[in-house]
Amino acid sequence: MNQEKKKLTITIPEEEIMQAGHLACQGCGAAIAMRYALKALGKDIILDFPACCWSVIDGPFPYSATQVPLFHTAFETAAAVASGITNGIQAIGNDHTTVMAWAGDGGTFDIGIQALSGAAERNDNLIYTVYDNEAYMNTGIQRSSATPHGAWTTTTPVKHFKKGEKKDIDSILVAHGIPYLATTSIAYAEDMVKKYKRAKEIRGTKFMHVFAPCPTGWKSDPAMTVKLAKLAVETGVFPLYEVVNGKYKLSIKPKELKPVEEYLKLQGRFKHLQKDDIDYIQKKVIEKWEILLKKVEMFGE
Amino acid sequence: MKKVVINGDFAASYGALSAEVKFIAAYPITPQTLVVEKLSELVSDGELKASFVKVESEHSAMAACMGAEAAGVRSFTATSSQGLLLMSEVLHWSARARLPIVMSNVNRAVGPGWSIWADDTDSISQRDTGWMQVYVENNQEVYDAILMGYKISEDPGILLPTMVNLDAFFLSHTSEIVEMIDTEDVRKFLPPYDPKYKLDVNDPHAFGALTSPEYYYEFTVKIHKAMIKAKRKIQEVGKEFGDKFGRYYDMTEAYKTEDADIILVTHGTIAGTAKETVDRLRAEGKKVGNLKIRYLRPFPDEQVYEHLKNAKKIVVVDRSISYGKEGAFYSETKASLFDYNLFVPTYGMIAGLGGRDVSIQTIREIVKTAEDNEPNKIFFIGEKK
């Protein structure tokens, strides 16, 4: 046996900024997302949360699990408040503190998109994270424009499941010409930490789209959260890539995409789907994947 | 001191300049647009060292001000009418977050039909947001109210935002002489903003977290108590301002009320017209006076009672109406008098809706209506039949 052990390189900072005692559900992807994001970004940071799961997860008054300054704000204001913080502190000479808006998909794709578009157009110096669990989970699993075709939610019941595609928020943000956009997944911690570190070094608006499974809303086994996030990447449902100044770059390129059924079958929200429905979803996933590959080819580095 | 001839919008901009605000977020809306334009110019020229974020809506204007103010940065914005209504949610949020933002609001009617003219419906409908509301009479008062507004709002015992309300066009687009105070002198009156609690990486706190019934009640009561405490602060600051700069302010301004049989209760620009009319009516032998109410919130109950207690008739003029009831200033005034067990004939006069002119003739008509009619109801002055 080779005595010379390969040295394990730890690329993820060991310090835990987010503390135990938070109120997330078992297997919450959004909790894992915050843990890694803060590890990457460090303590010189100010956060703001609109109404979202994290309004609860962080803990009720007088508790806070994040241990960094944090402003809770109204649903549609995450980006605008972050703009205020970042431009405000710059006006009094602070150009080192990272300012991050941290919002769910409802607060980003739907009610918050106007303020987000404003901040992105102005290219305000902030990180905007959407932790995407594909529905209004905190209010009780109602569909958002991030809910994928085929999904059950409390406002898209089984008989009338969500019809129509998930809004392509990433292309919308890319079209704003922001300097950095990344899709990340809680199943790829190293990739996520690397991307957040990269975002921290760039001035302007950085958009981070974190795929964060929700066992409560997806009717999945809490123990399967990371596996589901991984399958989303491996099936092409949620590809991981970066867009740096308009240049697309794939972060993970599966040799062959796994069948989407492997991902769908682990979730109760899709269990009503018939073969035709699954075939349709598979077809759309492939279509979108190929479009992404074309973008990488056309606008790649 | 420097005297300039400026409109009310510019007076608001210069108020923000003299207060040395460090952050502005604003969105244009007629007839407030000139505030935003002037501030853009002042910031671009480097005359005002501040960050100016040109947001995509009034909702975001207030939200951005909340972010900056929470980070300990003195913030300003300006709005009007529909813009103020769009802000409504964040007006509540900024007050409950105890952020001493100052905002000028050009009082303008709300639609439909589209109207850009003076009317108080916008700010009156935001009465219960936790914002202090001051209504000003002239452009000098716009400027002064912004400086005093920061001083009052930023008091550690108060920490509530201030809305400075000025009438559309009658002030916003009318030029008057305004005396600007030298920056050095303003600094002695209004020190830099340095809140005890802010978004600070060296002293991290979470602001505005989920609050159970165990705590929420007390937070609300604290806001009310701070607002009550502000009454004295408004008086103190108004006196200090007068001692330093020669212009004294209070929560109300009584004009020839002491021996008056009929007292008009007015606010905003109508107060100026009312005072002129009072002089003319007195010359004709009628004992009329005017009580100008500056603050709708907090409401000066004690002063209203003191100044009105000897009147034979009290005539309250509103430039808005709470549909199905009456004008807000009329309701508030009556409630104050009731608290003191004072039962005097009162009249609610609705005048000037949607920018209709309230002239000396209108005020004469208001007084005559009170003379000729039974009290305790509302009258529509100048309504076309």
pLDDT in tens, A100-118: 999 999 999 999 999 999 9
For residue B1, the model assigns a pLDDT of: 87
Residue range B258-293, pLDDT digits in tens: 999 999 999 999 999 999 999 999 999 999 999 999
Q: Which residues of A touch B97 (CB under 8 A)?
A: 71
Size of interface A-B (CB pairs under 8 A): 165
Q: Does a structural domain hold residue A13? A: no
φ/ψ of residue B324, rounded to 5: 90, 0
Q: What is the pLDDT averaged over residues A34-45?
A: 98
Rounded mean pLDDT, A206-227: 98
Spans of all domains in chain B? 2-245, 252-380
Please tell me whether residue A226 adopts helix, strand or coil conformation: helix
Q: Give me the pLDDT at residue A299, please.
A: 84
Mean pLDDT of B135-150: 98
| Nearest CA distance, B94 vs chain A (angstrom) | 9
Quote the mean pLDDT of chain B: 98
How confident is the model over A181-209, as a mean pLDDT? 98
Q: Is the pLDDT at B11 greater than 80, yes or no?
A: yes
Query: By CA distance, what is A87's nearest residue in B?
Result: B51
Å from A21 to nearest chain B CA?
15
**Which residue type, as a one-letter code, is found at position A274?**
Q
* B209/A59 Cβ within 8 A: yes
The β-bridge partners of B318 are: B350
Q: Strand A45-49 relative to strand A70-72: parallel, antiparallel, unpaired? A: parallel
Q: Do residues A70 and A51 lie in contact, with contact meaning Cβ atoms separated by under 8 Å? A: no
Distance CA B127, CA B122 (A): 9
Residue B355 Cα distances to A154, B117, B118, B161, angstroms: 48, 4, 4, 27
Mean pLDDT, rounded, for A136-162: 97
CA angle in degrees (0–180, nearest 5) for B359-B107-B32:
115
Given an 8 Å threshold on Cβ–Cβ distance, is B66 in contact with A122? no
Token pair, residue A209, equals: 């789209």
Q: What is the pLDDT of residue A3?
A: 56
- For residue A300, name the pLDDT band (cuts at 50, 70, 90): confident
3-state secondary structure chain B: CEEEEECHHHHHHHHHHHCCCCEEEECCCCCCHHHHHHHHHHHHCCCCCCEEEECCCHHHHHHHHHHHHHCCCCEEEEEEHHHHHHHHHHHHHHHHCCCCCEEEEEECCCCCCCCCCCCCHHHHCCHHHCCEEEECCCHHHHHHHHHHHHHHHCCCCCCCCEEEEEECCCCCCCCEEEEECCHHHHHHHCCCCCCCCCCCCCCCCEECCCCCHHHHHHHHHHHHHHHHHHHHHHHHHHHHHHHHHCCCCCCEEEECCCCCCEEEEECCHHHHHHHHHHHHHHHCCCCEEEEEECEEECCCHHHHHHHHCCCCEEEEEECCCCCCCCCHHHHHHHHHHHHCCCCCCEEEEECCHHHCCCCHHHHHHHHHHHHHCCCCEEEECCCCC
Q: Do A85 and B199 touch (CB under 8 A)?
A: yes
Q: Which residues in chain B are closer than 8 Å to A63, comparing Cβ atoms? A: 206, 209
Give the integer Cα–Cα distance in Å for B92 and B87.
9
Peptide bond before A62: cis, by omega within 30 degrees of 0?
Answer: yes
Provide the 3-class DSSP secondary structure of residue A71: strand
Partners of B50 on chain A (C-beta within 8 Å) are: 91
Which residue in the set A62, A70, A91 is minimally distant from B22, CB to CB? A91
Range of the domain at A46: 29-299
Tens-place pLDDT, residues A262-295? 999 999 999 999 999 999 999 999 999 999 999 9
Task: Calculate the alpha carbon distances from B118 to A19, A257, B121 in Å.
Answer: 53, 64, 9
Which residue of chain B has the CA closest to A88?
A: B68
Instruction: Reply yes or no on whether the pLDDT at A8 is more than 80.
Output: no
Q: What is the mean pLDDT of residues A37-56?
A: 98
Q: Does A9 fall in a domain?
A: no
Query: Please, which pLDDT band fits residue A5 given cuts at 50, 70 and 90?
Result: low
Alpha carbon of A281: minimum distance to chain B alpha carbons (Å): 36
> Residue B204's pLDDT band (boundaries 50, 70, 90)?
very high
**CATH code of the domain covering residue A216:** 3.40.50.970
Give the C-alpha separation, A45 to B155, whole Å.
28
Report pLDDT for A301. Answer: 67
pLDDT tens digits, B186-199: 999 999 999 999 99
Nearest chain A CA: its distance from B19 CA (Å): 15
Task: Say what the pTM is.
Answer: 0.97
Q: What band does A9 get if pLDDT is binned at 50, 70 and 90?
A: confident
Residue type, A220: S
Q: What is the CATH number of domain B252-380?
A: 3.40.50.920
Same topology between domain B2-245 and domain B252-380:
yes
With an 8 Å Cβ cutoff, are A61 and B56 in contact? no
Question: Coil, strand or helix: which one is A57?
Answer: helix
Contact A84 B65 (CB under 8 A): yes
CB crowding B349-381: b at 16 or more within 10 Å, else e: bbbbbbbbebeeebbbbbbeebeeeeeeebbeb
Q: What is the pLDDT of residues B37-89, one digit of tens each?
A: 999 999 999 999 999 999 999 999 999 999 999 999 999 999 999 999 999 99
Residue A124 to residue B90, Cβ atoms within 8 A: no
Task: Tell me, yes or no, whether A21 lies in a domain.
Answer: no
Average pLDDT over every residue of B299-313: 98
- Which residue of B lies nearest to A125 if distances are taken between CA atoms? B53
Is A142 part of any domain? yes
Cross-chain residue pair B199–A87, CB shorter than 8 Å: no
- Helix, strand, or coil here: A189? helix
Could you report the per-residue pLDDT of B330-369, keeping only the tens digit for each? 999 999 999 999 999 999 999 999 999 999 999 999 999 9
Q: What is the pLDDT of residues B159-185, one digit of tens each?
A: 999 999 999 999 999 999 999 999 999
Yes or no, beta carbons of A81 and B75 under 8 Å apart = no
**pLDDT in the model for residue A7:** 73
Residue B382 amino acid letter: G
Question: Is residue A1, in this structure, part of any structural domain at all?
Answer: no
CATH T-level fold of B2-245: Rossmann fold (3.40.50)
* Tokens found for residue B314: 């009290």
Where does residue B164 rank: exposed (0-12), middle (13-18), buried (19+ CB within 10 A)?
A: buried
**Confidence tier at A4 by pLDDT (50, 70, 90):** low
Q: Residue A62 gets which letter from DSSP?
A: T
> Chain A contacts of B60, Cβ < 8 Å?
77, 79-80, 83, 114-115, 118
- The CA-atom distances, in angstroms, between B295 and each of B125, B190, B289, B361 are 15, 21, 19, 26
Contact B23 A84 (CB under 8 A): yes
Question: What sections of chain A are H helices per DSSP?
Answer: 29-41, 53-57, 78-91, 105, 113-122, 169-175, 189-201, 215-218, 225-234, 260-264, 275-299
